[in-house]
Chains A and B, each alone.
Chain A
Amino acid sequence: NAGVTQTPKFRVLKTGQSMTLLCAQDMNHEYMYWYRQDPGMGLRLIHYSVGEGTTAKGEVPDGYNVSRLKKQNFLLGLESAAPSQTSVYFCASREVGGNTEAFFGQGTRLTVV
């Protein structure tokens, strides 16, 4: 049981390039989330999904797109990377229910130069 797996773990992009971050969970969780964390800050919610085929915006959605075509996968896309998107990205998943705990991946460290 791998839990929540993020791919890749590290990436360096040039300004204007695009990329997709993959989050995969094997716990059959309904809810999935993408957060970003900047140095010395807490996590900020980018987008989330409450089920296959559904997505919603979080606190800081600009510059990102997401897709949840399969229940186990949640993709985060950067169409045209900017230096301001340099951050550590965390994915999380939760099962349905009022007080279920969230399980987090180990993070993707992205640098945009």
Chain B
Amino acid sequence: DAKTTQPPSMDCAEGRAANLPCNHSTISGNEYVYWYRQIHSQGPQYIIHGLKNNETNEMASLIITEDRKSSTLILPHATLRDTAVYYCIVRPYDLSGNTPLVFGKGTRLSVIA
């Protein structure tokens, strides 16, 4: 079973920030939060990951609450091409890194012109 809870769908106006929430209330100390997205049935694409500090890259920002029980993925200026299913995944860190990703149902984000 997935360890995360996400809303099934969200809308966002083009040009506005898209804030996608994820609940992971049972997260353990060695588990990271990953975000992937899947555009129109293509293969999923990595976005960002984090442990406890906020993270930012060229695609998005990840805000993790202090108690680490929830997080928010932020797309600062959503475009129509950001319409996709977004998956929040919790995965334990291990040195070998061979623990597979387990996907839930994700959030379907629709960016509206």
Interface residues of A (CB under 8 A from B): 4, 31, 33, 35, 40-45, 48, 50, 58-59, 88, 90, 92, 94, 96-107
Contacts and interface: CB of A to CB of B under 8 A. Distances in A.
User: Helix, strand, loop or mixed for chain B's interface?
Assistant: loop
A90 B43 contact: yes
A81 B106 CA distance: 29
A41 B103 CA distance: 9
B44 A101 contact: no
7 contacts: A31-B98, A42-B106, A45-B101, A92-B44, A97-B97, A101-B49, A102-B36
Interface in B23-43: 32, 36, 41-43
B97 A98 contact: yes
Interface stretch (B14-22, B69-77, B87-95): B87-95
A43 B100 contact: no
A90 B98 contact: no
A99 B46 contact: no
Given A88-B41, A101-B46, A105-B43, 4 more contacts: A58-B100, A92-B44, A96-B96, A97-B97
